[in-house]
Structure 1
Amino acid sequence: MALRSTLGRLETKSTLFLLCDLQDKFRLVANYFPAIITNAQKLLSCGAQLNIDLIVSEQNPVKLGKTAPELCISHAIGVYPKFEFSMMKDPTLHKSITNLNNVESIILFGLETHICIEQTAIDLLYNDYDVHIVADCTTSRSAEDRYLAFQRLRQIGCFVTTSENVIFKLLGGKNHPKFSEIRSLVRDKSVESGLADLTTEQF
């Protein structure tokens, strides 16, 4: 394993955002859905301002609907329907991801944590990407599934992180040319998404 892969560094020129199945159909069943949407939009806005490529998947969109309308994904280089759980198992998505040159780090978020996110992460790690799971932008229908999936994701080598952590890593410091624009995104703290409640005492 390269030293890079053990540290979790992020650089805009080698980072890709993957938004997985954050669809409107899950609004009434996914834990903390409004908070997840708010935090995800902050992250998407940062990615757009830093010109980081974004790829979006939508699981069986005919039945499960499109990406939640609050999320601005107009800068995505592709929005793809999928029918496998892992984004990497879909041939079109796989090609779209792996054909991008110089990508080393993947910022992965969406739902469900224990299904599509976890299986996508496994396949990305297998393909030698660093994988950062944005926990406050990622959820499941069940709190237990979400919690245990985060544990497994850490065990297999993912960085389980937050939207603000990703944003500030990408900025690197106040001398970044986009610091002033992006500072407005983090002026207010991220919306609480139940992460503080995900303790072993619960289970």
Structure 2
Amino acid sequence: MRLVPEQSLLLIVDLQVGLLPVIEGGDQVVTEAAWMGQVASVLDVPVWLTEQYPQGLGTSVPRLLDQLGPHRRWEKHHFDAHAEPAFSRELAESGRRQVVLCGTEAHVCVLQTALGLLEAGYAVHWLAEACASRRADEAQLARQRVMQAGGVAVSADMVAYEWLHRCDDERFRRVHRSLLRGRSARPLRFF
């Protein structure tokens, strides 16, 4: 199924200050998640962040928060964000059935959230370059497991262009220019 902005939600899982220093490729994950969040903001796709036990792991990394537009932050205690009653209720009420998912740790909270969403009938799109763990092999196993369960692996560029759908408006030009400049070189502000 093709991603459409009116049906999509970007869910960024646990990119927290106490966790990121030990994540393999954590810096790149934040860069990609922030860029995807900026694209989502341009296209009116809601951005939700989760924080696993922030009293112990800290809040979301400031660099991510500084680059995002409007977003909703959720504190959670379940590894599966969808197991949090308020989260699952509000997601259902939103009417959004496509979840673009990224974050850490891929083999724990991202995996369990993906499985919970799939079990609840949501289309899960695993943002490949923005899902990571302490060890790359665990992140890879998590991705394989989500694909076997019915999720779809996507890249940030794939998501952006599917959401855009056409090239003849200002939103396309803004997103396309950021791709040409290279998002990993420097974060871009769209708002």
Q: Same fold (TM over 0.5)?
A: yes
User: In the comparison of the two structures, how many residue pairs are matched?
Assistant: 182
The question of 1:91 aligning with 2:55 is answered no
Gaps of 5+ in 2: 185-191
Partner residue, 2:114: 121
Q: Are the structure 2 counterparts of residues 111 and 179 from structure 1 closer, same or farther at C-alpha, using a change threshold of 3 Å?
A: same
What amino acid does structure 2 have at the position aligned with 1:94?
Answer: S
Gaps of 5+ in 1: 1-7, 192-203
Identity fraction in percent = 26
User: Which structure shows the bigger proportion of residues in helix conformation?
Assistant: 2
The Cα RMSD (Å) is: 1.4
- Tell me the alpha carbon deviations over residues 139-184 of structure 1, each in whole angstroms, 9 at most, x when there is no partner: 1011110111111111111111111111111111212441111112
Q: How does 1:188-203 map to 2 (within 5 A)?
A: 188-189=181-182, 191=184
SS of match in other structure, 1:19? strand
TM-score w.r.t. structure 1 length?
A: 0.85
- Tell me the alpha carbon deviations over residues 7-28 of structure 1, each in whole angstroms, 9 at most, x when there is no partner: x301111111111111121222
Deviates more, 1:169-178 or 1:121-130: 169-178
Partner residue, 2:50: 57
Q: How does 1:1-203 map to 2 (within 5 A)?
A: 8-71=1-64, 72-76=67-71, 78-101=72-95, 103-189=96-182, 191=184
Q: Distance in 2 between matches of 1:176 and 1:127?
A: 35
SS of match in other structure, 2:23? coil
CA contact (8 A) 1:46 1:185 kept: no
Give structure 1 regions of 4+ aligned residues with deviation exceeding 6 angstroms: none
What amino acid does structure 2 have at the position aligned with 1:49?
Answer: V
